[in-house]
Amino acid sequence: MTSLVTAVGIASPATANSADCPSGKFCIWTNSTYNGSFAYFAKGSANLANPIGGYVFNNKVTSIWNRTGSAWCLYDGANYKTLLLRQSAGGYRANLAIERIDNKTSSLKSC
């Protein structure tokens, strides 16, 4: 299966924060306060174990922000195995630690 990764942006842990999430993208961070290692997507990724900008996000996602017009789904397991969360479209943010699903995401996509 071809990965749908479209991580068009990566910021270093020292500089990434919520202001880095562009309109129209789905953003992920490794820290619960929307900072840390960061990537954003247009379509998703079938396997976050594949490095994005040299960083592996697999099982390290803690904050998310959906700035797209579509719902997004997070999965525990590569290739969209087990649904963890379906996030509503349009500006929805989540601290996955509060949802008790932080550090479990291995794939994600617009759904």
Q: Give yes or no for residue 82 having a pLDDT over 90.
A: yes
Q: Is CATH 3.30.70.270 the right assignment for the domain spanning 7-110?
A: no
Least confident of 9-18, 54-63, 96-105: 9-18
Nearest to residue 110, comparing CAs of 41, 54, 48? Answer: 41
Transcribe 14-36 into DSSP letters.
TT--GGG--TT-EEEESSTTS-S
Which tokens belong to 61? 């996602």
Q: What are the CA-CA distances from residue 100 to residues 31, 50, 60, 95, 97 (Å)?
A: 14, 24, 13, 9, 5
What pTM, to 2 d.p., does this model score?
A: 0.86
Domain spans of the chain? 7-110
Q: Please report the pLDDT score of residue 17 as a whole number.
A: 75
